[in-house]
């Protein structure tokens, strides 16, 4: 089965961890992940500026490792990211901001990427409140 996964909740919300565990289990079960799409507060899962206390799970780091190791398509909604100050180098330059808080393996793109993923997938699985 081919899954598209959308994550709407912030980096340390329980649904963020559930989404990661689901994605890991899906691949371990022989399924395919067409795309991971991070929307609304879900963009904070991709933010390099998030600092996790030492006694908590570092979900942004785990997401980054998972996407890199599995060579997955991790897309961050550009509109949601810009509203929350999550900028890659190109957008920081465009808006004349010094802070860059998004880097590889993440890709900034539009909501159309979620639509395309849904067209390619057998199922869309959403985590977090929309």
Residues annotated catalytic, as ranges: 77
Distance in angstroms (rounded) separating the CA atoms of residues 59 and 50: 10
Phi, psi of 32 (to 5 degrees): -115, 145
The phi, psi pair for 35, rounded to 5°, reads: -165, 145
How many residues are present in the chain?
Answer: 130
Query: What is the largest distance, in Å, between two alpha-carbon atoms of the chain?
Result: 45
- Among candidates 14, 18, 88, 79, which has minimal Cα distance to 46? 88
């Amino acid at each position: 089965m081919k899954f598209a996964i959308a994550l709407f909740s912030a980096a340390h919300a329980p649904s963020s961890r559930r989404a990661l565990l689901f994605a890991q289990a899906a691949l371990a079960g022989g399924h395919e992940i067409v795309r991971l799409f991070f929307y609304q507060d879900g963009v904070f899962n991709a933010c390099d500026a998030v600092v996790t206390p030492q006694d908590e799970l570092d979900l942004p780091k785990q997401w980054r490792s998972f996407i890199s190791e599995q060579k997955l398509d991790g897309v961050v909604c550009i509109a949601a990211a810009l509203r929350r100050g999550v900028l890659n180098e190109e957008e920081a330059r465009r808006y004349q901001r010094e802070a860059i808080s998004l880097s590889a393996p993440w890709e900034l793109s539009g909501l159309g990427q979620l639509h395309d993923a849904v067209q390619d997938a057998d199922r869309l699985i959403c985590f977090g409140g929309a």
